[in-house]
Amino acid sequence: MKFGKSICVLNVGGTRYAFTRDVIRDFPLRRVSRLHACATEKEVLELCDDYDRERNEFFFDRHAQAFVFIMLYVRSGKLRFVPGVCELSFYTEMLYWGLESAHLDSCCQKRLDERLSDVGLSDGGLSQQEDAKEGATQSPVGEPVAVMELTRRAKWLERARRAFEEPNSSLGAQLLAIVSVVFVIVSMVMLCASTLPDWDTAKRNTFRTGGRHPSPPLAVCIGWFTAECILRFLVARDKWDFLRRPLNIIDVVAITPYYVTMAMARAGMPGAGLGVAGVFLRVLRMMRVFWLMKLARHFLGLQTLGLTLRRCYREMVMLMVFVCVAMAIYSALAQLLEHGLDLGVRNQDYASIPAAAWWVIISMTTVGYGDVYPITIGGRVLGGMCVVSGIVLLALPITFIYHSFVQCYHELRLRSARYARSLSVEILQ
């Protein structure tokens, strides 16, 4: 700012906040940070309602309590609705200060989606209304070129990020998702075909004659997956957070074996008869099955399953504990009754507790392959108790997991419907 004092005061609805110029310049709220680039008082008045030059105070006739919660987001990174304030009113305040619905916590995003659905609006439509109001009172003539370029670049990066991360956000994102799904299907078909005897014989003949070039479809699929992973990394907001996400780790794990295999092939180690190296190569090739996890970005069902498992990990751990405790008890009793008591009949299938544990787990889950079964009276009674207790133990946490699954499904469906409404507006425009 080329005028005023070094301390800037923001007066929002009667509540005053004092900041230095450097803080104003890097402020996370777009409307506030634009004040630093203003060169004249006229440009300042395009961003705020009034300005006091003597005290270097900027007046905003906005909701003071809503701005308190927005400031909490600036400090802690978590944005939630103000208790007792209409969701749409608070969202209007968010748009005024330069925030979007994506900045809200997931629980508040669900409330906003439901409220917008009730009134027949989308967040894109409400954002356009707010932009129209702002454009009616502001002029872009005074905005510096550098700020406009930065804003344009930020919008382009955000649009690219949403195209890769949110397939329903736009028409281009849907086309990108369709292409990605096609490549996943082609790669899976080739992986299944590569295990056929005729395919393996042809591959051995190719290597024997000195050919080491990959099949063109597989090379194209790998090229697409590699380019997609690199582009998603480049447009990610937080690079470290990108590297820590499970799906991104799976992408790297699924792509890397191909390049390792090609490097080993060029180094003269293409075959399967290389001992440990050959086993290592076959394991790497089978890791391509992880490409199926890429479908989780494009299908609501897989997204719901992943979100449910993440939210219900305590219930899943509890279920595993139940099963393991019951398996240890029944395995020891089954080994004793069928083999350890020496009552004239020794069942060799229960010669050890680990061997009996296999029978316990298939009995508790009511699978019952029939390869192992008790032959003594006590063993059969124990088997009945094992089956009944298995049904009860498996059913205990199912209710919590089911309700969490339904909740996650409704949340993701509402978000998908929101993107679908925005996509419809984009197509009509």
121 — pLDDT class (breaks 50, 70, 90): low
d(CA 203, CA 412): 44
Give the domains, in start order, of the chain with CATH numbers: 7-119 (3.30.710.10), 167-298 (1.20.120.350), 305-406 (1.10.287.70)
Are the CB atoms for 250 and 224 separated by under 8 Å?
no
Instruction: Tell me the mean pLDDT in the region 142-170.
Output: 64
The pLDDT value given to residue 146: 46
357 — pLDDT class (breaks 50, 70, 90): very high
With pLDDT > 70 as the criterion, what percentage of the chain qualifies? 77
d(CA 362, CA 386): 10
d(CA 293, CA 107): 26
Phi, psi of 344 (to 5 degrees): 100, -20
The pLDDT value given to residue 291: 72
pLDDT tens digits for range 233-264: 888 877 888 888 877 888 887 788 778 777 77
CA distances from 206 to 12, 210, 215, 271 (A): 74, 6, 11, 11
Top mean pLDDT of 225-229, 234-238, 280-284 is at 225-229
The pLDDT value given to residue 141: 39
Residues across the chain: 429
Query: Over 50: is that where the pLDDT of 167 sits?
Result: yes
387 — pLDDT class (breaks 50, 70, 90): very high
The pLDDT value given to residue 270: 54
Q: What is the mean pLDDT of the chain?
A: 77
119 — pLDDT class (breaks 50, 70, 90): low
The pLDDT value given to residue 138: 45
**Sign of the four-CA dihedral 101, 106, 110, 111:** negative
DSSP string, 371-418: SS---SHHHHHHHHHHHHHHHHHHHTTHHHHHHHHHHHHHHHHHHHHH
10 strand-pairing partners: 17, 58
CB atoms near residue 310 (< 10 Å): 12
